[in-house]
Structure 1
Amino acid sequence: MSPNKTILLVDDEADIRQATQLWMATAGFKTSTAKDGEQAVACATQQQPDAIVMDVRMPHLDGLSALAELKEQSSTQHIPVVMLSASLVDQERALDAGANCFVTKPYDGRNLIKVVQAAIGTADLITPSE
């Protein structure tokens, strides 16, 4: 289980956010949500989640642009980010932009949980002390 770990879920589709919240809850994660990249950056800056699971293709500010902003800010650059997309073309761009992991949609919830747990485990080893 993952006690006291919070995951920020970012997707413009409410059904996907809700389904992902349910999967994360089964693993013991707390969750918060955002519906686009602008909200994701604001929420991550304010809430400092343990990890972010974010769709690539969203309106207003897409996931890759939001990822770039998160990696530029000293307060959020340490947060592991798992990017989601149905497009394999997005995979290389997401990883090059600093994503810790990439999961293709549609995804298996159990697999996503394992990826998030691995990302947090890695982040715990490299997160700078403040």
Structure 2
Amino acid sequence: MVTKKVFVFDDNKDILDLCTFILEDAGYEIKTSENANNIEKQVADYMPDIIFMDNWLPDLGGIQATKALKNHPDLKHIPVIYFSANNDISALANEAGADSYLSKPFDIAALEEIVRKHLS
């Protein structure tokens, strides 16, 4: 069976470590980035099966980063899960063109469930 790949963009190292721990434990391969610089290249070089995108990223914010991916012919098929503690997360995810969203703080079951749902 091919291991599914998850890419998490978040400027918070603790969140990245937590996601890595949870998702590797669940059997996924994971890559993380603390910025969205050259977002298309970062994603194209790894070609994940799903992406988690934080709203607050240095330089290119989550909305612009998500839009860049969704406008890219080779990357737009990859589900992007918007990932934020912002109260307006559903509106932000919608504006960004994300496929879904996950509020922070999240619980482990919710994280695993959203990954499963989008990768099945």
SS at match of 1:58: coil
Deviations for 1:87-115, whole angstroms, at most 9, x for unmatched residues? 12132121243211111110002211110
User: How far is 1:39 from its partner?
Assistant: 5.1
Alignment of 1:1-130 (within 5 A): 3-38=2-37, 40-121=39-120
Matched residue SS, 1:83? strand
**Residues in 1 aligned to 2:56 and 2:4: alpha-carbon distance in whole angstroms:** 26
**Equivalent residues of 1:37, 1:61 under 8 A apart:** yes
Seq. identity, %: 28
- Structure 1: 5+ residue runs without aligned partners? 122-130
Structure 1 contact 10–40 (Cα < 8 Å) conserved = no
CA RMSD, aligned part only? 1.5
Alignment TM-score, normalising by the size of structure 2 = 0.92
Query: 1:34–1:40: 8 Å Cα contact kept in structure 2?
Result: no
The CA distance in 2 between the partners of 1:58 and 1:6, in whole Å, is 21
Q: 1:56 to 1:103 in 2, by over 3 A?
A: same
Cα pair 2:40 2:69 within 8 Å, conserved: yes
Matched-pair contact (CA < 8 Å) for 1:7–1:31:
yes
**Structure with the higher fraction of residues in helix conformation:** 1
**TM superposition shift of 1:3:** 4.9
Give the 4+ runs in structure 1 shifted more than 3 A: none
1:57-96, Cα deviation, whole Å (9 max, x unpaired): 1111111110000001001100001111111213212124
1:18 is matched by which residue type in structure 2? Answer: D
How many residues get paired?
120
